[in-house]
Amino acid sequence: MKSYNIAVIKGDGIGPEIIDEAIKVLDRVGDIFDIKFNYKEYLMGGCAYEETGDPLPQETIDGAFKSDAVLFGSIGGYKWDNLPRALRPETGLLKLRSALGVFANLRPVKVYHELTQASNLKEEIVSGVDLMVVRELTGGIYFGKPREKGDDKAYNTMVYSKDEIKRIAKIAFDIAQKRRKKVCSVDKANVLEVSQLWRETVEEVAKDYPEVELTHMYVDNASMQLILDPKQFDVILTGNIFGDILSDEASMISGSIGLLPSASIGGKIGVYEPIHGSAPDIAGQGIANPIATISSASMLLKYSLNELDASMAIDKAIAKSLHDGYRTGDIAKYGVKKVCSTSEMGSIIADNIGVKKQ
């Protein structure tokens, strides 16, 4: 039997509730595919600050490095909003990503057939959307120096080295090769020098992937095209700030933020988490949608453990649960057979994976 070590960071708010369901589903898939998952819990975020005075204790970083992958829920909450920046829950997460060197953030946006009417966009626009945003995560304007906030003037610097662009572009092309073989690189090369280097470098990387079609789009046009005709996209490759904005925009195509997973990869250890936050407004009520987190566990199996059949079994079980009419409150608009609690939804998905044949 294969065995993997998973560092589990439940975090704050709805984090513990949704992670419990992802573990329920992982255990079921492990049972069927003869995989043993050894979980070890670590603290990060507000809960870590409360217990240790540090939003990212060294033990958590060490534990992540000793694992095969990190499964993470969410961090943050009103209670910690007024702490100094260094002690805030979000700082813990940024430091973890940086410590693990996860420079590539993958955000798949897939519209489940059963939920096409849950989107604010027209059914014919969203039906069949299946795209992947590949966002550079540890560079660009969020990290560039110099940066300064004065009373009358403030500035940040958008900087990318060729190597940083190359490595994220390679990830996007590798992913496109396993999908519909299309990369759309999004930049602002008509105005920004950093985008001109981005474009030249992406063109260079593309030469190694002759079977993948490369197009370029300015970010302002891309934000419009995403709403006009999201089906035109396969893989969207973009920098940190553009990816941050476009992937949130793209998430609304699916119908609920509670559906979308993410993978942060590129370092030795990958981090898998839903794209949403800790939802303090619904925490502890047992109504959060666990699908984004369960889907993140599927990405963990795919990208960190190369357990492709097990990953696909989870994806199919999620789709079947929706097809059968099971919904958490956030997506209970059409075709509803039963409105489920967080835990019921997790159990239904686990049951749809099946049972081990004796």
With binding defined as CB under 6 A, does residue 278 bind ligand NAD?
Answer: yes
Q: Which is nearer to ligand NAD, 30 or 108 (CB)?
A: 108
Is 220 assigned a catalytic role?
yes
Structure tokens that stand for 92 in this block: 């813990």
CA angle 120, 125, 131 (to 5 degrees): 95
Q: 146 is written with which tokens?
A: 């110099």
**Smallest distance, Å, CB 257 to ligand NAD?**
5
Q: How far is the CB of 34 from ligand NAD (least distance, A)?
A: 30
Please state the closest distance from residue 352 (CB atom) to ligand NAD, in A: 19
Among 103-111, 192-200, 223-231, 275-283, the segment contacting ligand NAD (CB under 6 A): 275-283
Cβ proximity to ligand NAD: between 30 and 266 the closer is 266
3-state SS, residue 281: coil
62 is catalytic: no
Rounded Cα gap, residues 133 and 128, in angstroms: 16
How far apart (Å, rounded) are the C-alpha atoms in residues 25 and 297? 9
Instruction: Decide if 244 is catalytic.
Output: yes
Cβ 331 vs Cβ 258: under 8 Å = yes
Annotate each residue in 11-50 with x if it binds ligand NAD (CB under 6 A) or - if it does not, as one string. ---x------------------------------------
Between the two ends of the chain, the Cα-to-Cα distance in Å is 16
CA separation for the pair 61, 107 (Å, rounded)? 23
How far apart are the C-alpha atoms of 173 and 157, rounded to whole Å? 27
Catalytic residue among 12, 54, 187, 244: 244
User: And the tokens for 260?
Assistant: 């979308």
Identity of the amino acid at 45? G
Residue 291: name the closest of 323, 327, 249 by CA.
327
**C-beta closer to ligand NAD: residue 158 or 292:** 292
- Please, which of residues 62-101 interact with ligand NAD by CB under 6 A? 74-77, 90, 93
Distance between CA atoms of residues 19 and 115, nearest Å: 23
Looking at 95-103, 114-122, 148-156, 279-287, which segment touches ligand NAD (CB under 6 A)? 279-287
Whether 356 is a known active-site residue: answer: no
Identify whether 188 is a catalytic site residue.
yes
Decide: is 319 part of the binding site for ligand NAD (CB under 6 A). Answer: no
The footprint of ligand NAD on this chain (CB under 6 A) covers a number of residues equal to 21
Catalytic residues: 142, 188, 220, 244, 248
Residues that bind ligand NAD (CB under 6 A): 14, 74-77, 90, 93, 257-258, 273, 276-282, 288-289, 292, 330
